[in-house]
A and B are shown apart, each in its own frame.
Chain A
C-alpha cells in the first residue's frame, strides 16, 4: 500500500521527531548522575582488594555490596568508606564474622610487660603472637580474657577463626616512687619490702614517737612528677590528709589500708565507710585462698562511684573509686605481713604480687610515647566495620534493576528510527 505523499512526509517527520526526542532523552540521561552496575563480591580479602581497585576506576558503580566471611582489613574498610563518601552506596553482610578484639595496656609494674585483654566467641581456640612468633594458644571464655605478658615485641596479634585482631604495644610507663605513710609496724615494713623487691622505688615516713619519724627517700614530694601512689598504711597518716587529697585530685593514686579510712580527715577520700574489724575466717593460710586467714576492716556503704575489688563472705574488703583526676583504693587488710611470713611456700611471691596489684589499681600512669607504631593495628575489626560502614544489610533493591543493557537498546531504537526515516525518503525518490 502506497501512502499519499503528504501522509508519508508526516510519517517521516514523526520518525525524525521521535529520534530527536530519544536523542534528547539520552543526552539528558548522560548529564544526570549515572546508573551503573551493582558489584557483588565475596571476600576473601584478595578479591575485595582487586574489586576496590576496579570500583575506583571510571565508570564508578552506584552501589557496591560486600559479602564477607571475615572483616575486611583496616585499609580495605578505609577504602570502602572513601567510596561511600564519594557517593557510592556501600553495604555489607556477613553473619559469620567472628567478633575478635584485643586491647593491650602497659602494666603498672617496674618489671614492665603488658596486660592483654582478648575477646572472641566463647569456646574458640585462638592464638596470640607478636612480631617474633607465637606466644600462647588460648581457649576463649565468655567476656574479656586477660593475660599478663612479661614482654612482647611489636604488635600483638590475636587469631581466631581466621580473623586477626592486632594491637600496638602501649606507651612505656615512666617509673614513679611509692610513698608509705603511717606508724612504724610490721605491715608497713613488709609492704615496703614487697614493693621494693618487686622493683618499686619506695619512700616512707613512719612515726615512732611524738614528732619522731623514720624517713627513707623523699616521702613528702607528693606530686605526680615524683610519686605514683601514696599508701596510708594506717590512720596515723591522717596528719598528711590535705597533701594526700591534693595529690589525689591532681591525678595521683592513693591506697587507704587497714584502719586509715577510720580517720575523719581521710574518710572523704575513701570509696566507702570502714566498719568494725572482722576476724580471720581461717587459722591457716591455704594456698588457694590465703587471705581468708587475714582479718580486715570491711568496706561499708560503698559510694555510688566506687567499684568493689575483693570480697569475702558478704563483706567487701577492697574497693576503688575515681575522685578528681586520681584514684583511691580502700584496702581493708591490716596484717598482710602474716601471709608473707606464715603462708605456704609461694607466700612471699604472692604477697609481692598482691601489693603490686594494689598499687597498679591506683597508680598514676605517666607514659612516654613509643618511638614507632606498627601501621597495621586493627584491635577490633568487626566493631570497626560497624563503625565505618554501619550495620550489615542486603544489597540495594534499587540498584538491582538498573542494568548496563539500557544504553544499548536506546541506541538500537535511535538507529532504527533514523533508518526507517531515511528508507522512506529514498523509496519516494527524495534525498
Chain B
C-alpha cells in the first residue's frame, strides 16, 4: 500500500516556497481525521523533473508572477495527461494580482482554461460536507488583497475528474501556521484540505 505524500511544486519563476507551513499542517490534518497512511514529511518536487510523476497530487502556490519554462510546461502537461492532479492556490487572493493572471495564463497554455467549479461538486462532500462550496478564508473577510469573497473555485476537468484545481481564496495563508496552533482554534479551518486529498485519492 502506497503511503500518501504531500508534494509541493517547485518552479523556476516566482516564489514557489511562499507557504512552507501549509504541507505540515495538511499532513497533520490528514492524519488527524482519516485512516489514510501519510508520509510524515512532505516532498518538494521540481516541476520540470520526471520525479513529478511520483506524486499524483501536487500543490503549487506563490505571490509573484509565474512563467513556466518549456521543460516545466512539457512535464506538467504529461503529468496531467497521465492522471495527475494539480492544486494551485493564489497566495495573494487578488483577482487581478500578478500570480492569478500569470498562473491562469500558464495553466491555459499548458492544458486548458480553468472553468468555474459548481459548488455542488463532489469535491465539497468527499469527506467533510461543504454545502455552500469552498469555505471562506479569514483573509477574504479581513479586507486584505482584493477585498472579495470568492464564491467558487475553478477547475480544468479531464474524463469527468478535476485535473487542475485553482483557488483564488488564499488557502496558503489560511493554512500556513504550525499544526500545534490548531488546538487554539474553535473551528479547524484546514478541513477542506482533507476533501481535496480524499477527492484526489478516490475520484
Chain A interface (Cβ < 8 Å from any Cβ of B): 183-190, 193, 196-197, 204, 206-210, 212, 214, 216, 234, 258-259, 334-335, 337-338, 340-342, 347-348
* 20 extra interface residue pairs, beta carbon distance < 8 Å, beyond A189-B56, A259-B1, A341-B79: A183-B1, A183-B36, A184-B34, A185-B4, A185-B36, A188-B202, A190-B83, A193-B83, A204-B202, A206-B201, A207-B35, A208-B34, A209-B34, A212-B127, A214-B127, A214-B202, A234-B1, A335-B2, A338-B54, A340-B82
CB pair A341 B84 closer than 8 Å:
yes
> How far is it, in angstroms, between the C-alpha of A102 and the C-alpha of B33 when the chains are bound?
57
Q: Decide if A342 touches B127 in the complex (CB within 8 Å).
A: no
Contact A193 B53 (CB under 8 A): no
- Tell yes or no: B132 within 8 A of A by CB: no
Give min CB distance, A314 to chain B, whole Å: 25
B74 interface hit (Cβ, 8 Å): no
Q: Give Cα A39–Cα B159 distance, bound, in whole angstroms.
A: 70
Q: In the complex, what distance in Å separates the CA atom of A341 from the CA atom of B4?
A: 15
Would A341 and B82 count as touching, CB distance under 8 A?
Answer: yes
Contact in complex: B126, A214 (CB < 8 Å): yes
CA distance A65 to B126 in the complex (A): 77
Tell me if A208 and B54 are in contact (CB < 8 A): no
Query: Counting CB contacts under 8 A, is B188 at the interface?
Result: no
Query: Are B35 and A210 in touch, CB under 8 angstroms?
Result: yes
- Whole-angstrom CA separation of A208 from B1 in the bound complex: 14
- Bound together, the chains give a CA A214 to CA B127 distance in angstroms of 7
Complex-state Cα separation, A183 to B4, whole angstroms: 12
Residues of A within 8 A of B203 (CB): 189, 216
Give the contacting residue for A208; candidates B36, B56, B161; CB below 8 A: B36
19 contacts between A and B (CB under 8 A): A184-B34, A184-B36, A185-B4, A185-B201, A187-B2, A189-B203, A196-B159, A207-B35, A208-B34, A209-B34, A212-B127, A214-B198, A258-B1, A259-B1, A340-B83, A341-B56, A342-B50, A347-B82, A348-B82
Q: Known contacts being A258-B1, A341-B53, is A186 close to B82, with CB within 8 Å? A: no
Give the chain B neighbours of A183 by CB distance below 8 A: 1, 35-36
A184 touching B201 by the CB < 8 A rule? yes
With a cutoff of 8 Å between Cβ atoms, the chain B residues found around residue A342 in the complex are 50, 53-54
Contact partner of B202 among A184, A209, A341, CB < 8 A?
A184
Once bound together, how far apart are the Cα atoms of A193 and B200, in whole Å? Answer: 12
> Quick check: A185 and B82 within 8 Å, CB to CB?
no
CB-CB under 8 A from A209, the residues of chain B are 33-35, 127
Given A183-B35, A341-B53, A348-B81, A208 contacting B2 (CB threshold 8 A): no
List chain A residues, Cβ under 8 A from B84.
Answer: 341
Query: What distance in Å separates the Cβ of B28 from its nearest Cβ neighbour in chain A?
Result: 15
A169 vs chain B, min Cβ distance (A): 31
Once the chains are docked, how many angstroms separate the CA of A214 from the CA of B81?
Answer: 25
10 pairs of A and B residues whose beta carbons are closest in the complex: A342-B53, A184-B201, A341-B53, A214-B202, A209-B34, A184-B202, A208-B34, A206-B202, A341-B82, A209-B35
Q: Contacts A184-B36, A208-B198, A212-B127: A341 and B159 contacting too (C-beta < 8 A)?
A: no
Return the contact of B1 from the options A206, A212, A216, A334 (Cβ within 8 A): A334
